[in-house]
Structure 1
């Protein structure tokens, strides 16, 4: 099996940053993945005491399909976020200043319009990630799984709907769902698979058009009896992972 694409999503719900390689660390996800979010006005998120919250407390594709039309770019060197969307003046926000963070939040509030539940807040907290599960993990999706699901319903599904950190080829469709509890070698890192990824309405959104034009959760339940596509894995031995690297499940007998 082969790593085909590595992605991180600096801002929850917004566009990916494609990486040629990444250094994984034990007990952590990809660096800067879901580091930021836009908290809805009624969100209880407290940056002084950050805890994991469900995605509905933030701008997200599950509830706000139109955020798929935003093109964002985060420059870690300058700590600057660029936000662009058709019909809206672009914004370059220096996140190291209160004014920059407030400007980014105001931009998103205006963009969401009636979908904004009060004034949004730009959310960040040291060491906190705005991921869909509380555990820090790497998400992986097999391309064959996406292709088979789409083929069953006569539609080519863009794998980006599933917002994985790692897209890989070479496995049978949905084979990765059987890796729960197993370790995998991913480039120079070792991970342990611990959970299937249950899919929600976010995957209904076309990442190119920002329209809800498919029903992956419904289709999965109808065809397979569950809504799972992809897996989560924890990093147990860090290392470098690059596009083109091998991905291999470790045989149980080799684990002792």
Structure 2
């Protein structure tokens, strides 16, 4: 049975990629094709030679708004079956196949070896090869605008189909489903990651609102809209109703295979709560069913989810460790302490979320600075030190050790105020009984009359006691707890000769919120360094490119790109984490990132050098 979910309000197409669009009332769609004439033309920026087959090419090949904000001011005109591109100064180019207009385009956009490209009939220059149709939910756009306190023209998201549903963000629930509009059926593949081009006001050609920064800091992700493909040809028309027809068997799998698209763990999606379990007087476990479990697969220890809700005073995002997961049924567990005081999220989830309800979530994510894995460093001895609800990290690590038959020595120390606070400790004890090399220690700091045993003590964690049987020059330490606790433990370990390189402090951040004014394109800080500085860029292959940063570059990202090195960079505001790289050398942030970079890492789009810098290694955006 079809389920009515919304209405089609507008149909748009963009004949030349990156430039202004045109509205149409009705269009016939073919199977496995986009809207006729949508993004069939593009202007090469000279970075990549013309593809002789005129097949799909990535957006980095073409002139685009991330580097040319004024593109919306160029008019695309139809005149007697011809297509023209008009410069804001009135100069005009006839868009014709086999005519490049290299000299004229180079004078407009200041690139060398420019030219016009027209795709072949089986494709177009979409952002991804499979992104035939982009769908934007006006309800979501309105919600974002309300959060920012700014009105937005939905055309800044450059969608083909502008729809309206009852609830904002409900378009994410369409992923993995077949929907019908008019006589057409579409399969929805994945959500759309938003880049810097959405910050450009289509009416002025000026970047006036930092949309990726707004999305990430307020909503915990940088997604708005979904991509779809046509699976049944037909006609769509403005004001058609939109129905969910059925699940689409292969849509999610196919959507996750596209190499240029974000990996599935990044996608916001609705997870269903399938079970609640009371763990202690103030901790409860919430088991969720993940619709992407089949394409995400194994969840590594110390991974976390971001949960997204609409609070009384705006959107709220919180991060919680995945304390356990079951690959067999696609479920995962979040063990959440009910906080007091001004906390909003944990009281809400404890009191309001019931079995059968759904919740928007993204992840699993893991700190890219964490290099240890039991299958990578199986001979490392482990020391896990945790306090309070930080035990959720310990349960995920112990579960992995049990699964991998880890044979090296493992000590785990857990600190709580009162024994009643020791949520999940019994689970730890039961799991460690199956691992002969694991020794657990429970420290209770404030309970009087506690019956002490070899592995249960009054007082604070004694680092000398919990490291007696460990080889400190062959150790990996995990710390998880309040900042003051972790600092105290780190200082004690350093005093015993344990290097900071062998200590992983589990830190994950719920994105910071900023005042609405922060999104009105604040001026970036000027670099402190007034002279050129050498940069070494270490490629994944091990090859090293030596380049020179100049003050006029501003960020490291600009210096890298202008040297001819192409890297992934979407938001250019420290929100999407696409350009998060390991760094050697001193840096500063010219743009405040939404969440802090891990130690010895930097967002290239935010950072500038304070000395010579080496950039190395790549992490998938998280």
8 Å Cα contact 2:8/2:242 also seen in 1: yes
8 Å Cα contact 1:62/1:202 also seen in 2: yes
Partner of 1:85: 87
Picking from 240, 245, 249, the partner of 2:244 is 249
What is the Cα deviation at residue 50 of structure 1?
3.8
8 Å Cα contact 1:17/1:73 also seen in 2: no
Partner of 1:39: 44
What is the Cα deviation at residue 90 of structure 1?
2.9
- Does 2:13 align with 1:8? yes
Report how many residues are paired: 242
Partner of 2:296: none
Please give the alpha-carbon distance, in whole angstroms, between the structure 2 residues aligned to 1:252 and 1:13.
Answer: 33
Comparing 216-225 with 142-151, greater Cα deviation is found at 216-225
Which secondary structure state, in structure 1, belongs to the residue aligned with residue 70 of structure 2? helix
What is the Cα deviation at residue 51 of structure 1?
4.3
- Does 2:71 align with 1:70? no
Please give the alpha-carbon distance, in whole angstroms, between the structure 2 residues aligned to 1:37 and 1:8.
Answer: 13
8 Å Cα contact 2:85/2:95 also seen in 1: no
Which secondary structure state, in structure 2, belongs to the residue aligned with residue 184 of structure 1? strand
Partner of 2:147: 152
What is the Cα deviation at residue 86 of structure 1?
2.7
Partner of 2:112: 118
Counterpart mapping for 1:143-182 below 5 A: 143-182=138-177
Please give the alpha-carbon distance, in whole angstroms, between the structure 2 residues aligned to 1:191 and 1:236.
Answer: 5
User: Compared with structure 1, are the counterparts of its residues 69 and 190 closer, same or farther at alpha carbon in structure 2 (3 Å cutoff)?
Assistant: same
Which secondary structure state, in structure 2, belongs to the residue aligned with residue 65 of structure 1? coil
8 Å Cα contact 1:68/1:207 also seen in 2: yes
What is the Cα deviation at residue 39 of structure 1?
0.4
Which secondary structure state, in structure 2, belongs to the residue aligned with residue 176 of structure 1? helix
Please give the alpha-carbon distance, in whole angstroms, between the structure 1 residues aligned to 2:142 and 2:131.
Answer: 27
Structure 2 length-normalised TM: 0.37
8 Å Cα contact 2:180/2:242 also seen in 1: yes
Partner of 1:29: 34
Partner of 1:227: 222
Picking from 56, 61, 65, the partner of 1:57 is 61
What is the Cα deviation at residue 252 of structure 1?
4.8
Partner of 2:25: 20
What is the Cα deviation at residue 29 of structure 1?
0.7
Which secondary structure state, in structure 2, belongs to the residue aligned with residue 221 of structure 1? helix
Which secondary structure state, in structure 2, belongs to the residue aligned with residue 192 of structure 1? strand
What is the Cα deviation at residue 109 of structure 1?
2.4
Which secondary structure state, in structure 2, belongs to the residue aligned with residue 177 of structure 1? helix
Please give the alpha-carbon distance, in whole angstroms, between the structure 2 residues aligned to 1:249 and 1:125.
Answer: 32
Partner of 1:199: 194
8 Å Cα contact 1:141/1:229 also seen in 2: yes
Superimposed CA distance per residue, residues 123-161 of structure 1 (whole angstroms, 9 cap, x where no aligned partner): 113223111011152110000111111110111111000
Please give the alpha-carbon distance, in whole angstroms, between the structure 1 residues aligned to 2:132 and 2:8.
Answer: 17
Higher relative contact order at CA 8 Å, sep ≥6: structure 1 or structure 2?
1
Please give the alpha-carbon distance, in whole angstroms, between the structure 1 residues aligned to 2:68 and 2:88.
Answer: 16
Please give the alpha-carbon distance, in whole angstroms, between the structure 1 residues aligned to 2:66 and 2:244.
Answer: 31
Please give the alpha-carbon distance, in whole angstroms, between the structure 2 residues aligned to 1:94 and 1:2.
Answer: 35
- Does 2:109 align with 1:109? no
User: Compared with structure 1, are the counterparts of its residues 222 and 251 closer, same or farther at alpha carbon in structure 2 (3 Å cutoff)?
Assistant: same
8 Å Cα contact 1:142/1:171 also seen in 2: no
What is the Cα deviation at residue 17 of structure 1?
1.7
Which secondary structure state, in structure 2, belongs to the residue aligned with residue 250 of structure 1? strand
Please give the alpha-carbon distance, in whole angstroms, between the structure 1 residues aligned to 2:222 and 2:50.
Answer: 28
- Does 2:210 align with 1:215? yes
What is the Cα deviation at residue 214 of structure 1?
0.7
User: Compared with structure 1, are the counterparts of its residues 73 and 220 closer, same or farther at alpha carbon in structure 2 (3 Å cutoff)?
Assistant: same
What is the Cα deviation at residue 169 of structure 1?
1.6
What is the Cα deviation at residue 81 of structure 1?
1.9
Superimposed CA distance per residue, residues 198-255 of structure 1 (whole angstroms, 9 cap, x where no aligned partner): 00001011101000001111111112221110001111111100111111222559xx
Please give the alpha-carbon distance, in whole angstroms, between the structure 1 residues aligned to 2:103 and 2:20.
Answer: 19
8 Å Cα contact 2:56/2:119 also seen in 1: no
What is the Cα deviation at residue 57 of structure 1?
1.5
